[in-house]
Structure 1
Amino acid sequence: MLKILLTVSACFSLIQTDDFAGRILSDSYATPDEFPYAVSIKVRGQHTCGGAIIDYRWVLTAASCFARSEVRSPNQILVMAGTIDLNGMGGSLHSVDKLFVHQNYTKQFQADVQGDIALLRLAKRFSYDSNIQPIKLGTVYDGAKAVVVGWGSESNEYPVASQILKSVKMMVIPGDAACQTDATRVCAAAQTGTGTCMGDSGAPLVDVDSGKLLGIFSLGVQRGCGLGLADIFTKVEPYAKWIDYVKTI
């Protein structure tokens, strides 16, 4: 088990995550059915972001994954589910027929990303089993012990996706001048040497106690990964009504 940092550095820079930012740095490899809600989102066949299954045809992820116009076409997107192996062994690939980026998604500057949330609708429903399951939405709170899972890069020097799903423990912390939060964003910190980075945009932040989805990874640090500095996640609860509405379209 990884030790959780209760404090973070008071000063750091943030970058937007639409260029494959965000990775899991840890030694905790997932077991096949440990995180059945976790998916890899592939654009033109390459792992681009993480996401979470929330219903039979719906995956929740970050809008920043699709910030570039050339990756906004659903026919370029596949969702890999039911496996911890990035090559898809034992899992399944699912076509996407609709991409919904939140209407408030903006990037005013590097540290100010709003509405960083998106939904993918599958062409066909998931078939639930022990390796493919939805996750319920939860309410985030300061001090929550959480886990983030993803296939992000394992090295600052070599930004190549992990071949096996990994997890890292984090703690939700109050926002401050270094990690600015608001009604839709929350900060979480991990132990130095672990954390998120390239390839983990959209990765689910899950409450250890309730098993519910608290947020999705949005912003990481500019100076490198695994420095023990806080990351910003998009809270899911404030977007519950938007999610419900989109699912009726």
Structure 2
Amino acid sequence: MGHLSSFLALIVLLGITVCVGRPRGRILRGYEAPPHMKPYMASLQVDGKHMCGGFLIAEQWVLSAAHCLEDNPEDKPFQVLLGAHSLSLPEPHKRLYGVRAQIRHPGSSQETYNDDLLLLQLEEKALLNEHVKVLPFQRQDRDVPADTMCEVAGWGEMTHSGKLPDKLQQVERPVISRETCNLRSRHDNMITEKMMCTDSKRKDTCPGDSGGPLVCNGIAEGVVAAGSRVCGNYLKPGIYTRIPPYVDWMESVMASAN
């Protein structure tokens, strides 16, 4: 009996070791994006460290997620890296821009996922070229049909230990209906009409990807907001802030800026 107990204890210990060793906090089965094929992507940085994603929506404006401000506890101003594929290697059109204004949506808060948008005004207009381009965003307020395959990219975490990639990663995910996302076993009626979801089974966005665009048929439909604490948990689909309900706010902010 003692030998059996020892054997069972060893099996349990081995099982725990295997589970702990599996990378959980990563874009599961994502892959390195083709270099500079997503010229709209932005890296929001503090002291040279990547914090969040974002994307260029006008020559002097980047859209991201408001909760990225909470990830910056010292409240230092962001800098925005454009034209990058690798965060560390020299590249011909890579440039770091200062930020003149950080404008979060007035309805955003740390307690909810509501209105999770952040506009960043660059100190100067971005120099547009083959590696730095504006991404068009959806203006028509209608839901993306379920099962539409969309893509998301970012420099977010790749392993459960928090390892960040140097080069841009991407993954394709199908949209799931709001009804499915709001099931009690999923997000339990937390998903409003201003949000959308994608399937997160084995492939997902992770911390550091927040603020990046969800691109469907070449147009930004949403902004990465939140998901499961453990990336790739199919019971916690990825959550995105839909862009169309906020077009008036975005254009008002951009028009009123100096």
**TM-score, length-scaled by structure 1:** 0.82
Q: Does 1:226 align with 2:236?
A: no
The structure showing larger relative contact order (alpha-carbon pairs under 8 Å, at least 6 residues apart) is 1
Which runs of no fewer than 5 residues in structure 2 stay unpaired? 1-24
Aligned to 1:235: 242
Distance 1:173-1:237 versus aligned 2 partners, 3 A rule: same
Q: State how far apart, in whole Å, the 1-side matches of 2:79 and 2:45 are.
A: 5
The alignment partner of 1:206 has SS state of strand
1:30 and 1:165 in contact (8 A); partners too: yes
Determine which of 202, 208, 225 is the counterpart of 1:199. Answer: 208
> Considering only aligned residues, what root-mean-square deviation do their CA atoms show, in Å?
1.8
2:46·2:76 contact (CA, 8 Å) conserved in 1? Answer: no
Structure 2 counterpart SS, 1:242: helix
The percent identity for this pair of structures is 28
2:42 is equivalent to residue 39 of structure 1: yes
Instruction: Confirm or deny that 1:92 pairs with 2:99.
Output: no
Shift of 1:45: 1.8
CA distance in structure 2 between the partners assigned to 1:242 and 1:24 by the alignment = 31
Q: In the alignment, residue 194 of structure 2 is paired with which amino acid?
A: T
Counterpart of 2:150 (choices 121, 146, 150) is 146
Q: Which residue in the other structure is 1:13 paired with? A: none
Deviation at 1:191, TM superposition (A): 4.1
More helix by percentage: 2
**Separation in structure 2 between the aligned mates of residue 155 and residue 68 of structure 1, nearest angstrom:** 19
2:54 is aligned, of 47, 51, 56, to 51
Distance 1:183 1:46, change over 3 A: same
The answer to whether the 8 A contact 1:49-1:65 is kept is yes
Q: Are residues 125 and 88 of structure 1, via their aligned partners in 2, closer, same or farther at CA, if it must alter by over 3 Å?
A: farther
Q: How many residues align?
A: 218
In 1, the alpha carbon distance for the partners of 2:208 and 2:71 equals 15
Alpha-carbon distance between aligned partners in 2 of 1:39 and 1:71, rounded to the nearest angstrom: 21
- The residue type equivalent to 1:85 in the other structure is S
1:113 maps to 113
The change in CA–CA distance for 1:31 and 1:68 in structure 2 (over 3 A counts) is closer
2:33 aligned residue = 30
Distance 1:26 1:163, change over 3 A: farther
Which residue does 1:4 correspond to in 2?
none
Which shows bigger deviation, 126-135 or 88-97?
88-97
After TM superposition, the structure 1 stretch with the greater mean CA deviation from structure 2, 93-102 or 137-146, is 137-146
Indicate conservation of the 8 Å contact 1:170/1:191, yes or no.
no
For residue 244 of structure 1, what is the aligned residue in structure 2? 251
Question: C-alpha displacement at 1:67, in angstroms?
Answer: 2.4
What code does the residue aligned with 2:175 have?
V
Deviations, residues 138-162 of structure 1 (Å, cap 9, x unaligned): 1541322100000011111x20211
| TM-score (ref. length: structure 2) | 0.79
Q: CA deviation at 1:114?
A: 1.1
Long gaps (5+) in structure 1? 1-21
**Whole-Å Cα distance in 1 between the matches of residues 242 and 75 of structure 2?**
23
SS at match of 2:88: coil
- CA separation of 1:70/1:244 partners in 2, compared to 1, >3 Å: closer, same or farther? same
Whose Rg is larger?
2
Give the direction of change, closer, same or farther, for the CA distance of 1:107–1:159 in structure 2 (3 Å limit).
same
Alignment of 1:152-171 (within 5 A): 152-156=156-160, 158-171=161-174
Query: For residue 123 of structure 1, what is the amino acid of its counterpart?
Result: E
How far residue 242 of structure 1 moved from its aligned partner, in angstroms, is 0.6
Per the TM alignment, residue 72 of structure 1 is displaced from its structure 2 partner at its CA by: 4.1
More strand by share: 1
In structure 2, do the counterparts of structure 1 residues 71 and 104 end up closer, same or farther at CA, with 3 Å as the change threshold? farther
CA distance in 1, matches of 2:222, 2:43: 16
